[in-house]
Structure 1
Amino acid sequence: MKKITYKITGVILMFSMMLSSCTKDFEEINTDPNNTPNALPQQLLAPALVGTLQYNMLRNRNFNNELMQVSVDMGDGDGKVFRYDYRSTWADYLYNGWYSELTNFKDLYKIASDELNYNKSYIGISLICQSWIYSMLTDTYGDIPYFESNQARDLLNYEPKFDAQKDIYFDIFKKLEEANTLLAANTAIVASSDPVYQGNIAKWRKFGNSLYLRLLLRVSGKAEVADAAIAKIKEIVEVNPGSYPIMQSNDESAILKWTGVAPYTSPLLTVREQDFRALGIATFFISHLVDWNDPRIDIPTYGSNGINRWGIAPYQGAYLGVPSGYAPGENPEKKSYFYSNTSTSSIMTEPLAGMIMNYAELKFILAEAAAKGWVSSSAETYYNDGALNSITLWLPTWSVPITTFLAAADIQWDNNATLDEKMEKIHLLKYYALFLTDMQQWFEYRRTGHPVLPKGAGLRNNGEMPSRMTYPVYVQSTNPTRYKEAVTAQGSDVISTKVWWQKP
């Protein structure tokens, strides 16, 4: 009996030790550091950047590119974006996705602001990224939840008010000013946590100030704020450039380069290959490149195995497109298209497709500012630099003098041209510099009306470019009071209602 008791006691002790061993580190082992207050700043940055670019790139492909005559989703069915045939279901994806990533960037800000993890650079980077996403949100929808957004988890605010776009922009400018100051300290971050600049804080600061210029230019045509916006542009570029460094080369472009190794695999790989190839390239997009003998589609000189840098398939030995906006029943033949990833060169697998803001865009921003007399530098120099860097971003070894290329293409700068003619040249070349950059082609067209796009007979919305996306339908039921306030303040929740900076 005594032996049996000893055996039972031993078993109990052994079980207790095993239980203690198994549960001792249970909380630590089974905690996801990316979704708890214990996360570190270096764990949050890359996933938020990758997530944001997923939304940007997929809607760039199937919304921006369709509106802006890069591609044509051919067919006579309803909801064809290239005909401005907008369905309300388009609204949800970006709205939900961008606000989700804002939560992640705000978590980065909060954790990097804690005494234990305090880091000025992560705070500054978070402010830049928040500014980037909020600007895309408001430029897409108009008035949006801003000051009360992303408060459901911590403050249980499930019905945030919608803020006026003017107020949103002014607060974005405050964020970018603060980021510029914080990043001036050049506090180190974990290089491997940063897939855009690999921990180079000086480059993040330059990107933040370059983004500042993009957004100042966007509101510069609004009479009530034009003087202040123009003065700030001049301050950044000429009056106090030492305090506001901006990008100086293609190497400083804000691009998350897809390596093909998880988690840095391009979101475009989620598109089925046959669907990726199904879109025809629009005549407007391809015809200029052909007329200019643009090296980005020059098969004999560039690319691999006869495939050009942008992975565009020729049609019967030539580059030919489909007219955008064609009427139902016309049924043109698909010609050139973008190769899928089965080829050796494809936008699907292109490292540079993770575009946030590139150096060429900045140069065209400065060209417009100079052409309008806001800065004293040469508009022609900025224009030429923009054209050059737009090409060499993709073809670094291209060595043709840019003035030779522009003259041969008959798109050289003309100081005697009217301002409207100068704007058309700047924005036609800027259109190609913005290739793959979220919705920026659409935003800039809405701001300027350039480049001039041909209008097909099948366009809806009275042939007018949509001015915004509508709010998601569910917002009407989940936040009805604030939704009605927004519609009363901004105008009807339709695609023809102009946002604040589009109105005189």
Structure 2
Amino acid sequence: MKKIFLILLTAATLVSCSDDLETLNVNVKDPSNVPGEALFTSAQKSLVDQMVSTNVNDNIFRLINQYWTETVYTDESNYDLVTRTIPEQHWQYLYKDVLKDLDQSAININSTPLGLTENPLDKQNKLAIIEVLNVYTYAILVETFGNVPYSQALNLNYKTPKYDDGLTIYKDLITRLNKAITNLNTGGKSFGENDRIYGGDVAKWIKFANTLKLRMGITISDIPTESALAKTTVASAAPFVFASNLDNADLKYLTATPNTNPLYIDLVASGRDDFVPTNTLVDKMNVLNDPRRAKYFDNNVDDPSTPEIEYIGGENGASNSYAQKTHIAPTIKAPDYPGTILDYAGAQFLLAEAAERSLYGTPADAATHYNAAITASILDWGGTIAEATAYLANPAVAYATATGTWKQKIGTQSWIAYYNNSFEGYSTYRRLDFPVLVAPADAVSEIPVRYTYPIIEQSLNKASYTEASTAIGGDKVETKLFWDKF
């Protein structure tokens, strides 16, 4: 009897061990087992993190666009993209941490059965919002590099994905965006608290999608063969874009790591003093007596030789003494300062462009949108209507009297307004060719108008890389992309 008991006990133990071993073989971190909503949150944060970061390993658009310059280590201010493989980081963040997570998020949400009390529109809205962010992310990749992997991207069956034509991608993205807008329905909910930008507000996502659509229509508006598409895209989006600063696409950061604004990590937690505002920007704002200076910069300079100047920018591309130059304002260094990817001021600048291009309205409408854009920017930075009114009354700012063509007026003021949204400022600068920026004396190239392709692509995906490089006119920072050639 005792022997039988031992056999049964051993058998039971083996069965138990077998169950435990099988459990160990389950990958609990497999993204297919993660709720799609959680993957969406991760992708959303990774996207905004990359776009607002100033870490020189990841994002140097603030330096290229001459908002900030460096103090001691000046390679990136002089357009060295290679040493730190900056294009590779931008590429990998957007493909791996954003697009791949969005892709898996859609798969998981699609495969999750609806509950008995769930509204089918909720799932429809979630998938449409994912698609909107897919379009935004691919648009950033195309605007950064030109031809990129698209039709074969994210598919593990393609180890060496081909690069698709940039314009072909862009036009397909507009089609996808139109469909996503159609699928967004305010009769349903969406991601709720998993949405760190709008808290699941579908109406705001509709405005975001249309503002993105307006932006994309304007981007292709200089291409002679795409004038009809540009006009229909802009005209169909314009009535439904952001209506106030309350619509701004601001990701809400928290005060505790790892959910703080990357600027806090780069500028405060790092304990480093690597950046100061450039004299390119500071001098322009000083001349215009811009009320946003107190919000952009820290008035920390006390130079007896220049008592009349409150703000002194660093020489772009040169070594700068941190102590002797104006610093970056503490406002944007706060750990929970929001990260913005699209805003109302930008939408109004785009509408001013649309008016001048006769894509929506007429040139007579441009001043109204220009004034609204500048006012929105000043208010968003904590200024007042009185400050905005006084600034717009300055003959050097007023649309009727400011120097230059409409491209110079809109280009200069949007560049100033995009101070903390450097990629948008970079895109506007490339499209309008204003303000006129001068490369530093020690720059390794002209001012980049694109990122070069990641070096790793030359070794792991050489045939596709070579074909794409040839197609765009050479893998150089000076190569103008399809939307920037005219």
Whether the 8 Å CA contact 2:126–2:191 is kept in 1: the answer is no
Contiguous gaps of at least 5 residues in structure 2: 115-119, 304-309
Say whether residues 1:447 and 2:442 are aligned partners.
no
Alpha-carbon deviations, 1:85-112, whole Å to 9, x = none? 4426222110111111111111122233
Q: Write the distance in 1 (CA, Å) between the matches of 2:450 and 2:420.
A: 19
Tell me which of 346, 360, 363 is aligned to 1:375: 360
- Match in the other structure for 1:248: 243
Tell me which of 456, 465, 472 is aligned to 2:454: 472
- Match in the other structure for 2:472: 490
Instruction: Give the drift of 1:202.
Output: 0.8
Q: Write the distance in 2 (CA, Å) between the matches of 1:236 and 1:347.
A: 31
Tell me which of 386, 400, 424 is aligned to 2:408: 424
- Match in the other structure for 1:337: 327
Alpha-carbon deviations, 1:172-229, whole Å to 9, x = none? 1011101101103543124111110001011011101101111111111111112320
Say whether residues 1:316 and 2:311 are aligned partners.
no
Whether the 8 Å CA contact 1:146–1:168 is kept in 2: the answer is yes
- Match in the other structure for 1:402: 388
> What amino acid is aligned across from residue 493 of structure 1 in structure 2?
D
Alignment of 1:108-257 (within 5 A): 108-114=105-111, 116=113, 119-152=123-156, 156-184=157-185, 186-237=187-238, 241=239, 245-257=240-252
TM-score (norm 2): 0.86
Tell me which of 251, 261, 272 is aligned to 1:266: 261
Say whether residues 1:502 and 2:481 are aligned partners.
no
Alpha-carbon deviations, 1:392-412, whole Å to 9, x = none? 1121x7231633332147411
Instruction: Give the drift of 1:59.
Output: 4.8
Whether the 8 Å CA contact 2:273–2:322 is kept in 1: the answer is no
> What amino acid is aligned across from residue 356 of structure 2 in structure 1?
A
- Partner SS for 1:314: coil
> What amino acid is aligned across from residue 130 of structure 2 in structure 1?
S
- Partner SS for 2:385: coil
- Match in the other structure for 1:95: 91
**CA separation of 1:455 and 1:36: change in aligned 2, threshold 3 A:** closer
- Match in the other structure for 2:306: none
Instruction: Give the drift of 1:168.
Output: 0.8
Deviates more, 1:203-212 or 1:439-448: 439-448
Whether the 8 Å CA contact 1:424–1:450 is kept in 2: the answer is yes
Q: Write the distance in 2 (CA, Å) between the matches of 1:36 and 1:64.
A: 31
Q: Write the distance in 2 (CA, Å) between the matches of 1:193 and 1:388.
A: 32
Instruction: Give the drift of 1:385.
Output: 0.9
Alpha-carbon deviations, 1:386-436, whole Å to 9, x = none? 0111121121x723163333214741120x778x53222222221133222
TM-score (norm 1): 0.83
Alpha-carbon deviations, 1:223-251, whole Å to 9, x = none? 111232023212333xxx4xxx2211111
Contiguous gaps of at least 5 residues in structure 1: 299-308, 340-344
Q: Write the distance in 2 (CA, Å) between the matches of 1:403 and 1:372.
A: 26
Whether the 8 Å CA contact 2:54–2:266 is kept in 1: the answer is no
- Match in the other structure for 1:285: 281
Alpha-carbon deviations, 1:331-382, whole Å to 9, x = none? 998511226xxxxx34232544411101110010001111233322621111
Q: Write the distance in 2 (CA, Å) between the matches of 1:276 and 1:257.
A: 25
- Partner SS for 1:72: strand
RMSD of aligned Cα (Å) = 3.0
> What amino acid is aligned across from residue 159 of structure 2 in structure 1?
Y
> What amino acid is aligned across from residue 404 of structure 1 in structure 2?
A
**CA separation of 1:45 and 1:86: change in aligned 2, threshold 3 A:** closer
